[in-house]
């Protein structure tokens, strides 16, 4: 279980980006963090992953305070982060990238299984370079496969996985997340405002102006996001999502 306690983060200028966030992410669930642009969603994800250091508060994972740990130490404890814009590596094959993520060599069937989980045919991708020849949808799926390749990963953070890909590829990503959710052995935190991702969430967290404005199950939160007649009474930060 991941617990954030009074988590805050400010820029060197003193501008507060996150203001005392309290949040619990349940084991084996798909939690979507949504809200307006600039509200603090990506900053929250980076703090959890260890890419930024909070100015106040604690991050507790499975009972351990991981706040002082860097991104490498958090990865050893099972925290995996998928960037909004995955990096491309000229000269590096998909297989080698997955092995680097795993920290060990992988058998052929292990690579095939990982690629199959994200809807890619191993025959077409296993020896392909992770370069500009890959489409946005392909690179996103490979990025997810690298998250799954990491030994012992049990919390995966995906920052706006829909960014920069076409509708067809996005539909494939939804299928991937649904398959991972059905497995039940991976907690997922997805930063997104897309309705189709909200629809498959177990829990939804609305972040705006650096704070959690609403948190509940999909059935509790979605009606407030999608009911246009109630938009005026939505908690701060939720009204921008109505009919998006």
Concatenate the DSSP letters of all residues of the chain into one string. Answer: -EEEEEEEEE-TT--EEEEEEEEEE-TT-EEEEE-STTSSHHHHHHHHHTSS--SEEEEEETTEE-TT--HHHHHHTTEEEE-SSPPPEEEEEHHHHHHHHHTS---HHHHHHHHHHTT--HHHHTT-EESTTS-HHHHHHHHHHHHHHSTT--EEEEE-TTTT--HHHHHHHHHHHHHHHHH-S-EEEEE---HHHHTT-SEEEEEETTEEEEEEEHHHHHHHHH-GGGGGGSPTTTGGGTT-
Quick: pLDDT tens for 162-216.
777 777 777 878 888 898 888 888 899 999 988 889 999 999 999 999 999 999 9
Using pLDDT thresholds of 50, 70 and 90, give the confidence band for residue 87.
Answer: low
Residue 232: pLDDT over 50 = no
Quick: pLDDT tens for 68-77.
999 889 988 9
What is the chain's mean pLDDT, rounded?
84
Give residue 79's pLDDT: 92
Give residue 239's pLDDT: 47
Q: What percent of the chain has pLDDT over 70?
A: 90
Domain segments of the chain: what residues?
2-241
CATH fold, domain 2-241, is Rossmann fold (3.40.50)
């Amino acid at each position: 279980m991941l617990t954030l306690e009074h988590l805050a983060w400010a820029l060197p200028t003193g501008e507060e980006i996150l203001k005392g966030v309290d949040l619990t992410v349940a084991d084996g669930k798909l939690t979507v963090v949504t809200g307006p642009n600039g509200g603090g969603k990506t900053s929250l994800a980076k703090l959890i992953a260890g890419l930024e250091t909070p100015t106040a508060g604690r991050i507790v994972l499975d009972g351990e305070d991981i706040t002082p740990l860097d991104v490498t130490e958090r990865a050893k404890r099972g925290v995996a982060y998928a960037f909004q814009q995955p990096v491309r590596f000229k000269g590096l094959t998909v297989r080698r990238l997955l092995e680097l993520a795993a920290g060990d060599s992988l058998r052929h069937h292990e690579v095939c299984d990982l690629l199959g989980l994200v809807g890619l045919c191993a025959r077409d991708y296993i020896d392909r370079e992770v370069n500009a020849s890959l489409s946005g949808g392909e690179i996103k799926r490979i990025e997810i496969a690298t998250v799954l390749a990491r030994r012992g990963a049990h919390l995966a953070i995906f920052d706006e996985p829909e960014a920069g890909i076409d509708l067809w590829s996005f539909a494939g990503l939804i299928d991937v997340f649904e398959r991972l959710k059905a497995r039940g052995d991976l907690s997922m935190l997805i930063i997104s405002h897309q309705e189709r991702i909200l629809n498959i969430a177990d829990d939804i967290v609305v972040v705006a102006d650096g704070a959690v404005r609403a948190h509940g199950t999909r059935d509790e939160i979605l009606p407030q996001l999608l009911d246009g007649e109630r938009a005026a009474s939505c908690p701060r930060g939720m009204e921008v999502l109505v009919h998006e």
